A and B are shown apart, each in its own frame.
Chain A
Amino acid sequence: MAISDKDFELIRDFIYNICGMYFHTTKKYFLESRLSRRIEATRVKTYADYYQLLKSPRGTEELKFLMDEITTNETYFFRNIPQLNALETKLLPEIVETKNKMGFRKLRIWSAASSSGEEAYTMAMILLEKRSTLLKDWIIEIVGTDINETVIAQAKEGIYNAYSVRNVPDIYKRKYIREDNGKFILAPEVKKFVTFNKLNLYDDSKMIFMKSFDFIFCANVLIYFDMASKSKVVQHFYNNLQPYGYFFVGQSESLHGVNDKFKTVHFPGGFTYKK
């Protein structure tokens, strides 16, 4: 069943307003196919009926099922290229300059909701490449946190499948990843920069101790939170940043209306939030 432009826009707006995730028109067919599974499961007849269901009191429950269909928990190395380019081209040199002036040569990065570690290790590789230039004699600390202990164990292990490493540029792959029987093993020199811990983003007593980060990443997690929790967690991130720090969310995500203190900084293909 083909979704009409009108129904697509209604459902897209609904998802955007509740979750802060935007479905580009190019994703219309993807959304259509995932919605059709929910339509079958809920036994409504049309996309318009399904939209009514989402808006009804039963909608909160149904939205969880829909989110499971339209999001993926899989992550991979070098996932958000525009973000990484901006970091290398402008944001990192800017922060290095600021801290050099203060004589404070330590960089702290947090991958909040680090899952199996791909994002944190991507940062580690990028920064490692700058150890003899921009970051000479700098201390680098990368922290990955997740609520799920199984994925933390995987992250600590540092062994990945072909899907995870498919976007890794060759220069990094050659240096930092070794293939063994279809498994991709991360070099110890990358692993030693990153520590992984269990952390629940809702846990205020723990969140207040995550201090003094220059960059915080939290991609594709806040979309599952309701507005009040989102606000609270984002306020923690704000507090946990250095006064010149940056906070990154995932591609197609939006924090509009969640926190009015962050400033949006735009760069080619994306934007970030500046304290």
Chain B
Amino acid sequence: MNKDALLLRAEQLVDNTDDLPTIPVVATQVLQLLDKPDVQVEEVADLMLSDQVMTARVMKLLNSPVYKPANEITSLKRALVYLGLRHIRELALTTSFINAFEADAGAFEIASFWEHSFGVGMVSKTIASRIGYPDLEKAYISGIVHDLGVVFLSNFMREDFLAVLATIKDKPIKLVDAEIEQFGTSHCEIGLCMSRKWNFPEAYSDVIAHHHAPEDATIDPVLCAIVNISDLFCSVRELNYGGREWVSFNLSEEPSWEILKKESPSLVDLDVERFCYELDDAIPDVKDLVSSIFSTKE
């Protein structure tokens, strides 16, 4: 199907949804503040501290095994210094995204969605580091937000999305193909529309739109390829939304693998088998992180 038609259909679906979640006021204010050329870390910290849920989640994200600070970071100001101003925007967006889709009202258990998302974030960071990609946090956040469109389908098109999941259950059919069949568009285009509404930085919108076709990416094909490969790996190990999609892939035939090998030729030596086994070992960390982020009332 024509790409413009897919996007047009996605715009219709998103625009026709009245109660689309918005990002919290504080996040918007943080983003505005960060646009000021002479912004100080203290100012941002003070503003963020006015939203306790956001503060708690930022702290949990930072102290997770994925970031691995040498010592536990206990103050938000120190956290922001540790992270650097340029990453606060991303953290504000991530925590907003989490806030917007906290409830378990969708077509699948929201925890399994976040375990997949944070898993893809973690693996993206690992692969980014392996190929010498310059911004590891960007890779991590890209992984976390890549399936933005899936939560829309799960929450706002629940019955039809459940039907899609039922048709592909235990079959080697790609979710995006089944979505296009059912909705005339897929979670990639829908996610793109939402990310534009939320003013996500363009690199993230690019990942959201092209994580299943990194060769079509316009802004950062390498980042899209990182997230694509991480998504594939998580989907065949136990970070697969409870097996909602039966995924199989031949690494040597994946366009994203070609993109990454061009970026870092030594990738051909990667011990892929061991990579999978180590991913299995990291799953409890991802699950702990997700449950700690969502158990927060403090």
Task: Tell which of B71-79, B189-197, B276-284 binds the partner.
Answer: B276-284
Task: Tell which of B5-13, B22-30, B243-251 binds the partner.
Answer: B243-251
Is A169 on the interface with B (CB-CB < 8 A)?
no
Most central of A89, A252, A266, A269 by chain B CB within 10 Å: A266
Establish whether residues B277 and A24, one from each chain, have CB atoms under 8 Å apart when the complex forms: yes
Establish whether residues B250 and A267, one from each chain, have CB atoms under 8 Å apart when the complex forms: no
Taking the nearest CB of chain A, how far is it from the CB of B286, in angstroms?
A: 13
Is B94 on the interface with A (CB-CB < 8 A)?
no
Establish whether residues A267 and B272, one from each chain, have CB atoms under 8 Å apart when the complex forms: no
Establish whether residues B273 and A256, one from each chain, have CB atoms under 8 Å apart when the complex forms: yes
* CB-defined contacts of A253 to chain B, threshold 8 Å: 273
Is A265 on the interface with B (CB-CB < 8 A)?
yes
Bound CA–CA A45/B274 (angstroms): 30
A89, A265, A266, A274: the one within 8 Å of B276 (CB): A266
Is A16 on the interface with B (CB-CB < 8 A)?
yes
Known contacts A263-B251, A268-B243: A89-B171 contact under CB 8 Å: yes
Bound CA–CA A252/B277 (angstroms): 7
* CB-defined contacts of A263 to chain B, threshold 8 Å: 250-253
A-contact 0/1 string along B230-255, CB 8 Å cutoff: 00110111101001001111111100
Bound CA–CA A208/B170 (angstroms): 38
* CB-defined contacts of B281 to chain A, threshold 8 Å: 24-26
* CB-defined contacts of B273 to chain A, threshold 8 Å: 22, 253-256, 264, 271
* CB-defined contacts of A64 to chain B, threshold 8 Å: none
Establish whether residues B250 and A22, one from each chain, have CB atoms under 8 Å apart when the complex forms: no
* CB-defined contacts of B243 to chain A, threshold 8 Å: 268
Known contacts A266-B236, A267-B236: A90-B271 contact under CB 8 Å: no
Is A86 on the interface with B (CB-CB < 8 A)?
yes
Within 8 A of A (CB), among B248-275: 248-253, 271-274
* CB-defined contacts of A256 to chain B, threshold 8 Å: 271-274
* CB-defined contacts of B37 to chain A, threshold 8 Å: none
B235, B236, B250, B274: the one within 8 Å of A274 (CB): B250
Taking the nearest CB of chain A, how far is it from the CB of B120, in angstroms?
A: 15
B238, B271, B276: the one within 8 Å of A271 (CB): B276
- Please list 19 pairs of residues, one from A and one from B, whose beta carbons are closer than 8 Å in the complex, sorted by A's number: A22-B274, A25-B281, A86-B248, A89-B172, A89-B248, A90-B246, A253-B273, A254-B274, A263-B250, A264-B250, A264-B252, A265-B248, A266-B236, A266-B249, A266-B250, A267-B248, A268-B246, A268-B248, A269-B236
Chain A residues packing against B (C-beta within 8 Å): 16, 22, 24-26, 85-86, 89-90, 252-257, 263-271, 274
Known: A265-B248, A269-B238, A271-B236. 11 other contacts (CB 8 A): A22-B273, A90-B172, A254-B274, A255-B273, A263-B251, A264-B273, A265-B250, A266-B233, A267-B236, A268-B243, A268-B248
